[in-house]
Amino acid sequence: MKLKKANFLEFPIDPLSNGKEKVSNLIRENLAEIDRLIEINDKNYLNFVAPLSDLHRKMHELTVPISHIHHVQNSEKSKDVYSSILPELSNYDSEISQNLQLYSSLKEISRDNLNIEQLKVLNDLLLDFRLNGAELSDENKSRLKDIDLELSELSNDFYQNSQDDIDKYSLEIFDKNDLIEMPESELNSARSKNTERESWVFNLKMPSYLAYMTYGNNRNLRETLYRTYTTIGEKNSEIIDKILALRDERAKLIGFNNYAELSIADKMANSTNSVLKFLEKLADKSRIRAKDEVAELKKFANLEDLSSFDLAYYSEKYRKENFAIDEEAFRPYFERDLTIKGTFDFLSRLFEIEFIKINNINLWHSDAELYEIYENSELIGRLYLDLESREGKRNGAWMEGWESHRIHENIEYPASAFVVCNFPRATNEQKALWRHDDLHTFLHEMGHALHHILSRVNESPISGTDGVEWDAVEFPSQFLENFSYESQFLQSFAKHYSTNEPLSNEMISRLIRAKNFQSAMKTVRQLEFATFDFKLHMGKFAGNEIQNLLDSIREDLAPIIPPKYNRSQNNFSHIFSGGYSAGYYSYKWAEVLSADLFLEMVDLGIFESGLNLKFRDEVLRKGGSASMSELFFNIFKREPDETKLLRLHGILHSSNNQIN
């Protein structure tokens, strides 16, 4: 029987309008449906598990536009609406996840005649119920419910405190002598609207902050910006104590020794010890080289007291002098529209898909764009882009899935996703020119988006990025970002936006030679974050103990110790207001997979090896339907090779030459 095709959801004109009421109404409807499901006598997958899973889908599709607007167009209204629905959602989630009748019914579902996807959904649901306290006493369930509610509110408070500090700060510079090394494009972006006196304004949003930290010649001003950025979220220190105490209590209620054990229960890593050994192994291979890199930079800068706020500035100078790399010289070759088109053309060939831009559509902001994705002339997904930095928009870059591919009652539903970044805007003087790092970021988020959109899994709970182990979910994004240094990709589109001159082989060679510049320093910085996060959640820390732990890890790992005032943990949103608590190691864990695949593909020929389509078919299409260790094995018929990651970063050497 031929499948019918469902239409996409249309993004609401005003997602915040009656947002709380809509969420409350759906909660009531879903809870009534759960009561009905429980009363079914002869339960099976189709009449019980599938409808139960569908309740989560409905809630997700309703709330994603609300949270999306809160993060891309933050306002008093979005704060009010978003904050008001968090307690209800937390209570709702707790009520479902702790419902012993639901849990008991799931345990009794017959596994006979279930396909692989249905078995995975059932097993994931049972694990979720256990991890959310379904087996606890009524008293402990009530306590767990209170914990989850408080954690939800604290995480939002943490994010909002950081965002408020970022939004309220600006540094106005009147003396152009403090900007003598600033590229013209950055000057144009920073030029203030002050009509009485010429000035330039820098803030704590990434494009602006990085511009001055990289090119600002006034060391005092660099330290001022750095001190302000690394002390963001002073109010969050007490919130961190509360979050850690609640997470520890939550883990122990469910039967784990600590929150780290709870965190990896549904990940690829099979023990806390395996995570620590993994991080230590990478650190052993990286820390000595990282110290050598700092020593080289000190000698170059002729600055014995080289500090953290000097690193970006002198590193950029060192790169220019020793690798002939001037980031500014590359920007004209990455004009926004040409770069997006070039990226989409390459991805189209890599995965045999097609991107079509939809014009004349009203979205949440004039910056936003919509693309539809086709495969074999069939519309399979929608991609929303919101790429420019602006006031009220959360820092960083992220992908969020909205609709997931699924088949229900002979109807096939397509997938859609958002990619949000904070790239430089066009000005009256010039077009939007991306940094090479911006291209790198865009490819990363596109990896996530295609993982979600190209899924062909039929069950929504494990479709796309849903159901993928958290320490493997970065695999596709990290794999794709590697192409930002790959000559075949760059030569396919990179042309000077005004002269149409192609990016020369010599420039690409310089870019490739510089790829691993200070790679060991970058690696140990990520290992510092990951080790701090994991050890923090293996013990019981509060107050000064948290700073002491971070200091001890920095003493062991950091090639240059940050100033004492640095309290970066107060703005560590990944673990305190994001999904990476006791899971920051996942970036490196998944990077082992991505480095292995990338090096194999490049060695054998990007389009000739067949690995591009194997990756599409085994990883992107299968979503969370199987463990990533199984999907990786399906491609290579072997386990991942950890040394490939260190080779890719130039920290280890291949048998013949260093891998660039």
d(CA 534, CA 582): 5
Cα torsion angle, 124, 125, 126, 131, sign? positive
Catalytic site residue 117?
Answer: no
What is the rounded distance in angstroms from the CA atom of residue 274 to the CA atom of residue 271? 5
Q: Alpha carbon of 248 to those of 263, 442, 536, 539, 540: distances in Å?
A: 11, 36, 10, 8, 7
- 3-state secondary structure (DSSP) of residue 74: coil
Q: Taking Cα atoms as reference points, which of 572, 531, 528 lies closest to residue 231?
A: 572
Q: Write down the catalytic residue from 316, 335, 445, 528.
A: 445
Q: Tokens in use for 161? A: 């405190």
Pairing of strands 415-423, 398-401: antiparallel
Amino acid at the residue 286: S
Residue 319 phi, psi (nearest 5): -60, -45
Cα–Cα distance, 496 to 332 (Å, whole number): 5
- What does DSSP assign to residue 172? E
How many angstroms separate the CA atoms of 258 and 261, rounded?
Answer: 6
* Pair 130, 107: CB distance under 8 Å: no
CA distance 604 to 284: 30
* CA 660 vs CA 125, 441, 463, 477, 550: distances in Å: 43, 19, 35, 19, 32
Q: Which two tokens stand for residue 466?
A: 């849903």
Maximal C-alpha separation, the chain: 79
Q: Which residues are tagged catalytic?
A: 445
